[in-house]
Amino acid sequence: MHRGAHGVLDVFGPTVEFLILPEEPDAGYCVMIGTVPPGVSVPLHSHPDAESFYILSGSVRTIDQRGDTLEWRTVNAGEFAHIPGNAKHAWQNASNEPSVQLIRTTPKLGRFSREIGRPVSAGSPAKPPTPEDLQHLLRTAGKYGYLMASPEENAALGIVIE
């Protein structure tokens, strides 16, 4: 299997490429390559699915829930980040280069990504989401039982939702 064999999806700024599809028989997990372009944030959210990220290149700032607090930390190339299920978290690429990550998660979260993702060509810039795209994201998150923080909650952490 080679990169891009299953296509590339824009998930509201970052892109994902599936290496192991969520429907893969007997896998029990899903594997993706994620790319977060410079200046792009993944807003604060949570879901029951655990996620693990190995940073292949670049770096990201991540905000993680530790007990009742949220704290920013930087994860650089060659480092690993694990987000437990139900923990609030966000990502932000404050660098000048893309952050490329190997992501392992559940098939359910993989299906969610496929359902909200918009097909794009590898390396092409994503189009800004339409109001309909954003409504689809919120409806789909609700269907899966995922929490999406409000623009005000994100702004309090320095994440601007446009």
Chain segment 24-62, per-residue pLDDT in tens: 888 899 999 999 999 999 999 999 999 999 999 999 999
Torsions phi, psi for 89 (to 5 deg): -160, 160
What DSSP string describes 56-85? EESEEEEEEEETTEEEEEEEETT-EEEE-T
CA distance 1 to 17: 12
β-pairing verdict for 147-148 and 41-46: antiparallel
Using the predicted structure, report yes or no on whether residue 5 has a pLDDT greater than 80: no
**Which CATH class name applies to 8-156?**
mainly beta
pLDDT of the residue at 57: 96
Query: What band does 127 get if pLDDT is binned at 50, 70 and 90?
Result: confident
Using the predicted structure, report yes or no on whether residue 87 has a pLDDT greater than 90: yes
User: For 120, which DSSP code?
Assistant: E
Helices (H) then strands (E): counts for the chain: 3, 12
Using the predicted structure, report yes or no on whether residue 2 has a pLDDT greater than 70: no
pLDDT of the residue at 4: 56
Torsions phi, psi for 8 (to 5 deg): -120, 135
pLDDT of the residue at 102: 98
